[in-house]
Amino acid sequence: MQARNRFKQSTSLYQRLNEEAQRRRKMAKSAHPGIERERLLRRARQAENASDIDEWLSSPGLRAPT
* 12-32 pLDDT tens trace: 889 999 999 999 999 999 999
Residue with more model confidence, 4 or 36: 36
The range of the structural domain enclosing residue 29 comes to: 13-57
Residue with more model confidence, 65 or 34: 34
- 35 within domain boundaries: yes
- Domains contained in the chain, number: 1
Global confidence as pTM? 0.76
- 65 within domain boundaries: no
- 3 within domain boundaries: no
DSSP of 2-42: PPPPP---SS-HHHHHHHHHHHHHHHHHHSPTTHHHHHHHH
CB–CB of 13/54 below 8 Å?
yes
